[in-house]
Amino acid sequence: MTVLRTPGGWSTVLIDGCVLSSPNPGAPQLPKKSIRVALPKGATVLSVSVVSGKAATLVAPLQLSPAPEPAFWPGQTTQVLREDDAIYRAKSPFPKRLIDYYVGSNGKQTIVTVRFSPLIFYPAERRVVVVTDAVLRIDYALDPGVASGAPSSAGATCVIITPKSMSAAAEEMKSLHEADGIETEVVTLETISLSYDEAEDAPYDGYPYGSPFIPIQYDYSLAKKIVSFLRDEEEHPSLEYVTILGDGSKVPASYYYHDADSGLGLEQDWVPTDFFYSSPDYDLVPNYKVGRLPVRDLAEATRVALKMRAWRQAAQDRSWFDNVMVAGSRPFHTPYYYGELMSLDMLNSGYFDGMTVAKAFGTDGRYTVDVVSEGLRDGGYGFIYDSGHGFGPGISLDDGMITSDDLFSYAASNFQLPIVVSIACICGQFDSPSYSRSFGEGVVLSPAGGIAYYGGSRINAGIASQAFDNGNLIVTKQEHMGGMTKDVFASFSAGASDLGSLYTGAINRFLSENDWDDFLVRRTLFEFVLLGDPALQIPRFQGGEANEVPVFVPTNPDFINNESLPSYTNSQLKTVRASVEADSEVLNFKLVNATDVEVVEKSTQFGPLFDYGFSPAAGFKLYVVRAEARDGKEGWFLVNTASSLLCIDGDLTDWDNELIRPIAVDPTLDFNDPEYDVSSLRAYADPDYWHFAFTATCQNKDMSYVLAIDYGDGGFSGRSGPDTDAVGNYVTFDPEFAVDAEIYLNHVTWVPWLGWESFRNCKFYRYSGPNDWSADSLDSIGAVLSYSAIGNLVELAVPTKYLGGYPDINVILFSVPSDAPAPAQDSVPSDPATFDSLTLGREHANTLSQFAHVSCKPVNCILGAGFMGSHISASHGGTLQVAAVVNPEVGPPQSMEIYLDNVPTGLFLNDNGTEGDYVAGDGFWTFHADCPPGLLLAGQYHVSIVATDELGGCIGQWPQVLLSFCDELAAPDARLTSSATRRFQGISLPAITVAPTASAAGCPILLAGVANTATNIFAFTIEAFAYVQDSSVDAIEVCYAGEPLGVELLDDGAGCDIAANDGIFSGSFRVDRDIPVNRQYTLEL
């Protein structure tokens, strides 16, 4: 069992042999084990139950990921996750039953598909129970009137159904089949129409139950007669293949399914399907392998029959068939390059092991008309898989389109033609109007193109659900048509030997992996089509030598965020590094700046050890590092980088690490609609960006969050009632905080076929004068937004130049509806003018007055901190002394507490002249404690000091110090040492702080240490600092063993001294590398 993190920070659990499944979008996505059981024909299943088993509760709570929202390919979308509130707030377990099952017939046996859930999720508690062992029981009864035993071998194995006008071409195909040992019968539509009555209507929404929008005339009566013919098992007891010779205008589709839930409208809601020719008993288990050759006349039918014969001859030499092309790019304009990712998922799953794979990828400049059309025109590939957009007559590539007209222009060559598989929308249409041909029809009917096409007859849905493991991207499941087309290749690698087996194998796998009641599962099943002859024999998968998918191991991230992505802050000063575990002797690396859609570099390394590093660009970036093994499999490694102190990634880990606390809070749930409730606001500035973070529970409502900011003189205040803010809401502001800018963050709910993300059309408004606001999109001003649904968190970074340069600001956050003008609903800081329930109308206009003041250059209450003469070991204990110096400009804090690994310890420094403190009220705060043996075990600890004011707000911090405690028995001279980051007034320096000897009371040097070290092959360079509270001190001399070293620490702002006359004296000196090592040296000041 493996636990991964999804985008947004949910957890997803993978179990070997199980596939993620959910009854509907928004419900928890759980692994399920599918079991397919064949019972005698006519058997009635009475029950399926768990009769015994064992279970265990996971110790750690998990918030399991919901199933993604539908993603229709005409839209621009990514994996969108949002919880179904009714399920996630429930105390009852999910699922309510461990087992669901489906019973159908393949015409020869009763097939029971059982799906068992080994996880039980209690959403309200975030508790997960794992079933580790289970025994399942199926009770069934036999029908004595149904004969059992081996099926008859009499009669045709394949029937070709065609109009009489094309029977001559059908006879040519029959001879091809029988050359492969497949006995075939040609049956004309005219014969079926005269010989059979109509079958009953299919029990699914469709043709007889609505007002269909169909591009051709549909003969529903004939379709039901064909169903009756295919039910006639006495007529064809050995039937395995059904070849339909004719497009939808010649041989009607078995049904038109009406998908009323998609919202796609008109023609796209009416899905032509041949599935009920495969399953004429109307269940969801195929009886026959069905394919359609969409010809319109005898001449076309004859050309296709001859093309098949030539292809079958070419396939006798399988060497070319073992070549595969996978094609894709960035169809949804997302950072994950879904086209390439979904193509690689087939490869990484092992479905092409032992084959030669050519990649037509956008990141290589190869997802082009020239590259893909060459494969369709000249052949030489067994398969071409395309993961891109389509519009019926053509597929869309990065530089243009390939249409069915293009395919018809290709001349026949060597007939080494591919089987084409694609998720492209409408490209499998077989009921095209007379003036048009779909791309799939062009593949099959053109002189070259391909020998078969698998895809969808209408607009498809599909997405690659992904999760992360320390930055490694894992495709956890391909949804809908993405999953169906993947199952075509799964069937091939499992040994399918004909086109029909790829079709039925994909359907059976797809149904075992998905919930049968999901409307998109049904739609995908019905629109999936094979354009080709199901009886055509293909070379079997042989396998061969293969590599594992490379795995990255990050070596130096600042933190791993809640999505399990390594994150790097102040990244312009760093090199991102990762080692790579791989069994390939060579790896090809590709670095993609996904934020700016740019391939940065490509390189190759030879093993057995692999290490990759790069220097990030300035700003907030998402990088994808790709490592390609020799057989083409790829590992993807995603990292966030920020040239600021904070990443914009929908996660507060970096804010908490830096101890940046909320600047204002508002009581949680003080508004009766949680969507409008805002409770916490954080802000931080550096010279380049203002950073904001706030809570936002907005998953299911169209609404807006607004940051109103006062950063300069003038600005908008307005009159309550007559005046409105930048977008016309009934909100004005106290003149003391006249607003210079408003940032509107507009949240929109899911629009199924467009697949919109959570926040859209967000705007930055700048006040220019009465009734004059300029508006810019956030993208256009270089702002960056991130939203985490599970954390209910919005993060935003706005360039400081748009907020007046680099000033202090006053800010308030409020919520409003987005569908009509309204007053502010809730706010943080809390404002008495806001409400506790949804309140609309100009008569309730409000004036906000409770702004939070934020300094862009915060003055740290703590000027410096360190350890004084602390000698501690695990086995003998010792004395821990901590000191901190308070900035007199800020004044004394209310408290100063020690934090261990970001958690308050309850240990406080004091300035009261007792408990180890020398002088009360001198600004020199101390902590003194004796540590008994065994209290602090050998290891490393992160320690920081936090100063708070009377309201509990953070007004100062000394950054985390990495403490190393040794076992004194193993290292008798070991003492407490530390490495830290030292910051003064917003300036950061890497530092190593040592333990200075405690000074006697009254000494002007209150605190001292080593601020920075550097090394070259000749010497160590050491920077030292000392904090002095005596204006008469001009310089501090550094001595060793009582002898001056000729080094002075000065407070002149030069060299390594950060600021003049701030009381912090600094200086640097060099120590030769030939001094004895592994010893302790004491410097005196």
- Tell me the domains of the chain and their CATH numbers: 2-141 (2.60.40.3800), 158-293 (3.40.50.10390), 298-467+476-531 (3.40.50.1460), 551-642 (2.60.40.10), 662-849 (no CATH), 862-1084 (2.60.40.10)
pLDDT of residue 1039: 84
The structure tokens listed for 509 are 């796998």
Determine which of 267-271, 335-339, 550-554, 1071-1075 has the lowest per-residue pLDDT on average: 1071-1075
pLDDT of residue 1074: 62
Beta strands in 653-770 (DSSP E): 664-665, 680-685, 689-695, 703-710, 731-733, 741-747, 763-769
pLDDT of residue 239: 96
pLDDT band at 755 (very low <50, low <70, confident <90, very high): very low
H-run or E-run covering 139: strand 127-141
User: How does DSSP classify residue 64?
Assistant: B
Give the chain's mean pLDDT. 86
Strands 289-293 and 241-245, by their bridges, are: parallel
The answer to whether residue 378 scores a pLDDT higher than 90 is yes
Share of the chain above pLDDT 90, in %: 58
Residue whose pair of structure tokens reads 């839209």 in the numeric block: 75
Which residue did the predictor score with more confidence, 937 or 557? 557
Determine which of 565-569, 871-875, 1032-1036 has the lowest per-residue pLDDT on average: 871-875
Strand partners, 338: none
Strand arrangement of the beta sheet that strand 689-695 belongs to: 664-665, 680-685, 689-695, 793-799, 784-788
The answer to whether residue 284 scores a pLDDT higher than 70 is yes
pLDDT band at 880 (very low <50, low <70, confident <90, very high): confident
Instruction: Provide the b/e sequence for 102-135 (b: ≥16 CB within 10 Å).
Output: bbbbbbebbbbbbbbbbbbbbbeeeebebbeebe
pLDDT of residue 60: 82
Determine which of 206-220, 411-425, 525-539 has the lowest per-residue pLDDT on average: 206-220
pLDDT of residue 987: 22
The answer to whether residue 1015 scores a pLDDT higher than 50 is no
pLDDT of residue 787: 83
pLDDT of residue 365: 96
The answer to whether residue 118 scores a pLDDT higher than 50 is yes
Q: Is the dihedral of CA 797, 803, 805, 807 positive or negative?
A: negative
Short-list 6, 125, 4, CA closest to 788: 6
Which residue did the predictor score with more confidence, 658 or 468? 468
Mean pLDDT throughout 838-854? 95
The answer to whether residue 312 scores a pLDDT higher than 90 is yes
Which residue did the predictor score with more confidence, 1054 or 936? 1054
Mean pLDDT throughout 928-940? 75
The answer to whether residue 108 scores a pLDDT higher than 60 is yes
Rounded Cα gap, residues 603 and 888, in angstroms: 54
